[in-house]
Structures are given as C-alpha cells and as structure tokens.
Amino acid sequence: MDVIVIGGGIGGLSAAIGLAARRAKVTLLEKNCRVGGKLNVWESGGFKFDTGPHVLTMLWALEEVFAAAGRKLSDHVALTQLDTVCRYHFENGDTLDAPGDPEAAAAAIAAFAPGEEAGFKRFLAYAQQVTEATTDPFLRQDFGASVRGVPTPAQWSQLRSFLALKPWRTLRQVVSEHFTDPRLHQIFELYALYSGSHPARASGIFATVADVQWRQGTFYVRGGLYRLAEALRETAESLGVKFRMETPAQEIIVHGYRARGVALQSGERLFADAVVCNADCLSALTTLVPETARRSWTEKRVETIEPSTSAFLLLLGVSGEYSQLAHHNSFLAADGEAEFDAIFKSARPADDPTIGVACQSVTDPTRAPAGCTNLFVMTNPPALSSSFDWQIEAQNYRDRVLEKLERMGLDGLRKRILVEQRWTPLDLQSRYAAYRGAIYGLSSNGWRQGFLRPPQVSPDVQGLYFVGGSTHPGGGVPLCALSGTNAARRIAGDTEGNNHNGLGT
C-alpha cells in the first residue's frame, strides 16, 4: 500500500512510522526545511531555542510510537524528570513552586494557602479518574466514530464511566469544588488555556492535566525537545519512509470521493492508496480538499467555528542569569478574569497577560553561552481577527510584555537582550498554515467543540485521514503522537477490510 503524508509534524511523523512498520510504502511531504511542525528550533549567537513545547508529558504515547518500530524512546532521547512542574509568580511578589512530587506539592500548597492541601489531593484523585475513564475510549480512538449503531456492552461501560465524571461541568466549576483560595483558582484555571479555551466554558475533564503533570511526570529532553522530532525522523527513515522537504502540497487528488494522491505546487502529481493530512485541519478542509469533495466540512461551516487562542512568542538570549526562574514559570495576570474577557469577548490581547517563561538553561546549560540565559516567552492572544492589527501593534505589545516581566522581578531584562526573535499569530499562520494563527485549531469552549473536533477519518473523502493538534484527540506533543498512531492503525484496518471485501486499495 502506498501512503502520502502531508506534513512532518509530530502527528505526521508518528503516522508515517506506524504505517511503515506495517509495511506500507510511505512518502512524507514537508513544506518547510525541517520536520517537527510547531516543535522546531532556532539558534543564534550560541543560544538554542525550542520554538514550541518545552516539556514532555504522557511518555507512554511516545513510547508506543517507537515500540511500533521495535525501538525504545529511551534509546533515542535522554529524559530528565523536572523537580518543579512550574513556578508561579504573582504581582504582589508571592511565588508558589509546584514540586513534581505530589506529596511535596501538597506540602507547598499547605504552606502557601493553609487548608487547601486536602482539596489538592482530592483534585488529583479526580484528575486520575478522568485519565482512567478517557484514555482508551477518547485518546486511543475517536469514541463517537467508533460507535456503529447500538453501542457494544464495552462501549456502554466506557460511556457510563465517562458520564460519571459529569463532563458537562466546566473547569471553573471543578476547580471551585476543590479550592477556595482565588490564587489557586487562577493557577488551575490555566489548564483551559493549554487548549486555547476559557475555563468557564471548557469541560472540567481538563483537570486531567493535573494527573499528567504529577502522577505521570513532567520531563525535559536533554539537548532540547527538538531532539524528539529528529529521533522520530531517524526512526521513520530506518523503516524506509521517504522524506521530501520544501515540497508544499497544492491539493489532495480526489476521484469519486476517494483520495488518490497529492498535487504539488510544483505541478508534479503523486498517487497513492491513502493520504494522511498533518496540515492544520481547518485550513486543509478549505484549501487542500477540492471544493467539489467538501460536503460535511464546508468553508461556511469552518468559518462559524470558534478557533483556539494563538500565541505571541519572544525567543530571548540574555546576558546574566535570573536565579528566581525555574525551568518553567507563569507570571500571572493581576486580574485573571479581565485577561479572559479581553481574549474571548473583545478578541484582543490582554493588557496584562499571563506570561509563560521557559528557561531551559536552568536544566540544560548547553542551551546558552556560559553566564547567559535562554528565555522562551509566550502569551496567549486570541486568533487573528479585525479587532487587533499585529502589523501595527506588535512592537507595543512586545514592550508591554517585557515591561511586565521587569516589574515582576526580571530586572533590566530589555537592556540584557543579546539575541531576539519574535513570532506573532501572523507568523504562525504563514509558517504552519494555522487557521487564523490558532495553535490548537478549535477551542474547547462548549460541549460541542470540546468533544466533537474534526474527525480523523474524513466523512467526505474515502482514504483521507487527518492527524495533528487540530483534529482528534487534540493539541500537544503526546496527543499529536496518538493521532498518528490511531490513524496508522485505522488505515491498516480499513485496508484489511477493503481487501476482505474485494475492493482493493
């Protein structure tokens, strides 16, 4: 079986490995000069930066990708479990370290907000219940797509376990049931932003992040997380996957509502039995899929969907060190609700945003020259709209972010910058064809968008499959890896079924 994979992000790489391990002939097309998608790298002046994720969780999802190839994740990357999940910085100068050990984290919370440690332990227990109820039916498959007619007894059991979690409750409601201190509300409501969503509209099942961070562990890849993308490519190549870099796709070839290959922007046409699309799903549905083959996901429907937040990034190489920084830090907004209102009601970046600052050089000194620090600075502005013009306002917003960091303890930051790169939502849109620059595709605001993401199996075009953060099961390295694993398994099953029926591929 010949398969073409469009896009070399984590989802595309994982799908390519899973398919090649099943003896498919796989060609992967990547429009950029490197694989990895948003998980990429930038270097300047001796500073090294990951341009996407800075920590790794849910190791089992990556281990399954390598296991398909008869390999081990640990054979390819060196992992360090972080002692501190995150350090939270407040406007009044307070800080809260969240140790990676759950008992130590409970003790830290008890010292920070006496009496709240019991709620934290109950919160962790609930988060583990969410993980156990959702991993097999919702992460390892698309539950809605797997039900055919009347659910099986096993599917009924999975559904009952899921509904017992009361997933219609919002994350804000779940957090409020476990904590009373408003500072802890603000911290744990940030889980919604991890999917580009609002805590008062996203489901409480996002509490699972706590289980992922504490029980499953938070890790750093020595040498930077881009090493993971390199390892996936090396593994894919060892299985015979053919990579064609700087080769953008123009259109998916469709005949009789079946994917037959990919037309390249160069004019070349490649034919295959199936196509895996790792391009941003919302963009691909209206650009790569021919208009005549769109039935369920029309352009009009895509335009009615609420996208996730985007990202504003500053990659900063600075002289000196900041002892108050952990590997990962959150500089919280003075008024969290005002931040959410700006993003989700006014469609504008907040004047006082929560700022994530990753400092890999704390854990890995090779990421910066001696006596220097590498800083990955990120905020969560809304997706592109007419409410904010990044071409005009980006510099002022950049200055506002740096002013806040200086005010909250990073003294003299702007004067110490040696190298700098800035990304706005416009860059994310152009580099990765991200719909309106959204980094997770859809938001998870509301029941429908939270649980009915664009499916991995195209409802309109047979033999077309979607992987990556904008489809099921969601964004982030491990979920993207699962999307690739799931797609490879589904394609193999569909192919076997077609052959059994004498249809061929």
Q: How sure is the predictor about 504, in pLDDT bands with cuts at 50, 70 and 90?
A: very low
- Give one DSSP letter per residue of 401-461, joined into a string: HHHHHHHTT-TTTGGGEEEEEEE-HHHHHHHH--GGG-SSSB--BSHHHHH-PPPSB-SSS
pLDDT (tens digit per residue) in 148-202:
556 677 766 767 877 778 888 999 999 999 999 999 999 999 999 998 999 999 9
Confidence of residue 137 (pLDDT cuts 50, 70, 90): confident
Local confidence band at 501 (pLDDT 50, 70, 90 cut-offs): very low
- Find the distance separating the first CA and the last CA of the chain, reported in whole Å: 7
Q: Is the pLDDT of residue 123 over 80?
A: yes
Average pLDDT over residues 414-419: 98
Q: What is the pLDDT of residue 296?
A: 80
Q: What share of the chain is helix, strand, coil (3-state, %, to 5)?
A: 40, 20, 40
50-59, 271-280, 345-354, 487-496: which has the minimum mean pLDDT?
Answer: 487-496
Buried b (16+ CB within 10 A) or exposed e, 270-295: bebbbbbbbbbbbbbbbbbbeeebbe
421 touches 413 (CB < 8 A): no
What's the confidence (pLDDT) of residue 409? Answer: 96
Given a cut of 70, is residue 145 above it in pLDDT? no
Structure tokens, 115:
């009496």
In angstroms, the CA 456 to CA 470 distance is 10
| pLDDT at residue 77 is higher than 90 | yes
Average pLDDT over residues 243-269: 97
> Quick check: 502 pLDDT over 90?
no
Mean local confidence (pLDDT), 39-64: 96
Strands 2-6 and 25-30: parallel
Report, as an integer, the average pLDDT of 274-290. 94
pLDDT, the chain, mean: 92
> How many residues are listed for the chain in this entry?
505
The reported pLDDT for the residue numbered 496 is 60
Q: Is 160 helix (H, G, I), strand (E, B) or coil?
A: helix
Percent of the chain with pLDDT over 90: 82
Which residue would you say has higher pLDDT here, 496 or 422? Answer: 422
pLDDT digits (tens, 9 = 90+) for 209-226: 999 999 999 999 999 999
Q: Please give the backbone phi and psi of residue 409, each rounded to the nearest 5 degrees, phi first.
A: 125, -15
19-35: per-residue pLDDT in tens?
Answer: 999 999 999 999 999 99
Distance CA 429, CA 431 (A): 6
Using CB atoms within 10 A of its CB, is residue 228 exposed (0-12), middle (13-18) or buried (19+)? buried
Does residue 499 surpass a pLDDT of 50? no
Where does the pLDDT of residue 374 fall: very low under 50, low under 70, confident under 90, or very high at 90 and above? very high
